[in-house]
Structure 1
Amino acid sequence: MALETSVEKPAPVRAVANAISGWIDRLGPIWVEGQVTQVNRRPGLATVFLTLRDSVADISVPVTCSRVLFDSLAAPVTEGASIVVHAKPSYYANRGTLSLQARDIRMVGLGELLARLEQRRQLLAAEGLFARERKRPLPFLPQRVGLVTAPSSAAERDVLENARRRWPAVAFEVAHATMQGPRSAGEVIEAVRRLEADPAVDVIIVARGGGSVEDLLPFSDEGLIRAVAAVRTPVVSAIGHEPDTPLLDLVADVRASTPTDAAKLVVPDVDDERRGIDDARARMRHLLRSWLVREQAGLDALRSRPALAAPHSLLDARLGELADQRSRLRRQLERQLDRAADDIDHRRARVRALSPLATLQRGYAVVQDADGRALTSVAGVDAGAPLTVRVADGRVHVLTERVEALTPTTEENRGEED
Structure 2
Amino acid sequence: MENGYRTDPGDGADAAAEDSGRRTLPETAGQTSPDNPWPLHHFASILKNHIERAPETWIEGQLLEANVRNGHAYLTMRDVDVENSLSVTVWRSTMDRLETKPQVGARVVARIKPNLYLKTGRLSMNASDLRPVGLGDLLARLERLRQALGAEGLFDPGRKRPLPLLPQRIGLITGRDSDAEKDVIRNATLRWPGVEFEVRNTAVQGVNAVGEVMAALAELDGLPEVDVIVIARGGGALEDLLPFSSEELVRAVSAASTPVVSAIGHEADRPILDDVADVRASTPTDAAKRIVPDVAEERAGIAEARLRLDRAVYHLVEREGQRLEALRTRPVLADPEAMIESRAEDLARASDRNRAAARQAVDRAETDLRHLRAQVRQLSPQHTLDRGYAVVQIDPRGAAPAGVEPGDIVRDATTVPDGAGLLVRVAVGSLDATVTATHPSNT
TM value normalised by structure 2: 0.57
Q: What are the superposed Cα offsets for residues 339-378 of structure 1, whole Å, 9 maximum, x if unpaired?
A: xxxxxxxxxxxxxxxxxxxxxxxxxxxxxxxxxxxxxxxx
1:208 to 233, 236, 244: 233
Return the alpha-carbon distance in structure 1 between the equivalents of residues 123 and 196 of structure 2.
48
For 1:77, the aligned partner's letter is V
Q: What's 1:292 paired with?
A: 317
Return the alpha-carbon distance in structure 2 between the equivalents of residues 256 and 287 of structure 1.
38
- Aligned pairs, how many? 295
Matched, 1:30 2:78: no
After superposition, residues 135-150 of structure 1 pair within 5 angstroms as 135-150=160-175
DSSP-derived class of the 2:176 partner = coil
Structure with the bigger RCO (C-alpha within 8 Å, sep 6+) is: 1
Return the alpha-carbon distance in structure 1 between the equivalents of residues 65 and 321 of structure 2.
87
Cα distance, 1:40–1:143 mapped onto 2, change above 3 Å:
farther
Q: What are the superposed Cα offsets for residues 254-274 of structure 1, whole Å, 9 maximum, x if unpaired?
A: 111111111111111101100
Return the alpha-carbon distance in structure 1 between the equivalents of residues 332 and 286 of structure 2.
68
Q: What are the superposed Cα offsets for residues 362-410 of structure 1, whole Å, 9 maximum, x if unpaired?
A: xxxxxxxxxxxxxxxxxxxxxxxxxxxxxxxxxxxxxxxxxxxxxxxxx
CA contact (8 A) 1:145 1:171 kept: yes
Cα distance, 1:11–1:237 mapped onto 2, change above 3 Å:
farther
Return the alpha-carbon distance in structure 1 between the equivalents of residues 182 and 262 of structure 2.
16
Matched, 1:249 2:254: no
Matched, 1:236 2:235: no
Return the alpha-carbon distance in structure 2 between the equivalents of residues 171 and 70 of structure 1.
57
For 1:186, the aligned partner's letter is G
DSSP-derived class of the 1:118 partner = helix
DSSP-derived class of the 1:151 partner = coil
For 2:56, the aligned partner's letter is P
Cα distance, 1:223–1:264 mapped onto 2, change above 3 Å:
same
Q: What's 2:101 paired with?
A: 74
Cα distance, 1:60–1:22 mapped onto 2, change above 3 Å:
farther
Return the index of the structure with the highest Cα Rg: 2
CA contact (8 A) 1:47 1:67 kept: yes
CA contact (8 A) 1:51 1:61 kept: yes
Cα distance, 1:40–1:178 mapped onto 2, change above 3 Å:
farther
Return the alpha-carbon distance in structure 2 between the equivalents of residues 149 and 83 of structure 1.
28
After superposition, residues 368-387 of structure 1 pair within 5 angstroms as none
Root-mean-square deviation (CA), in Å? 3.9
CA contact (8 A) 1:61 1:98 kept: no
Cα distance, 1:250–1:74 mapped onto 2, change above 3 Å:
same
Q: What's 1:181 paired with?
A: 206
For 1:50, the aligned partner's letter is T
Cα distance, 1:98–1:297 mapped onto 2, change above 3 Å:
farther
Q: What are the superposed Cα offsets for residues 188-214 of structure 1, whole Å, 9 maximum, x if unpaired?
A: 111111111111111111111121111
Q: What's 2:189 paired with?
A: 164
CA contact (8 A) 2:235 2:265 kept: yes
Q: State percent identity of aligned pairs.
A: 49
| Offset of residue 182 of structure 1 | 1.8
Return the alpha-carbon distance in structure 2 between the equivalents of residues 264 and 74 of structure 1.
47
| Offset of residue 49 of structure 1 | 6.3
After superposition, residues 231-380 of structure 1 pair within 5 angstroms as 231-304=256-329
CA contact (8 A) 2:80 2:206 kept: no
Mark the runs of 5 or more structure 2 residues left unpaired by the alignment: 1-28, 340-443
Mark the runs of 5 or more structure 1 residues left unpaired by the alignment: 1-8, 315-418
Q: What are the superposed Cα offsets for residues 285-342 of structure 1, whole Å, 9 maximum, x if unpaired?
A: 111111222222333344445776688999xxxxxxxxxxxxxxxxxxxxxxxxxxxx
1:50 to 68, 76, 101: 76
1:223 to 243, 248, 258: 248
Return the alpha-carbon distance in structure 2 between the equivalents of residues 120 and 47 of structure 1.
33
Matched, 1:114 2:139: yes
Cα distance, 1:111–1:23 mapped onto 2, change above 3 Å:
same
Cα distance, 1:121–1:75 mapped onto 2, change above 3 Å:
same
Return the alpha-carbon distance in structure 2 between the equivalents of residues 176 and 232 of structure 1.
21
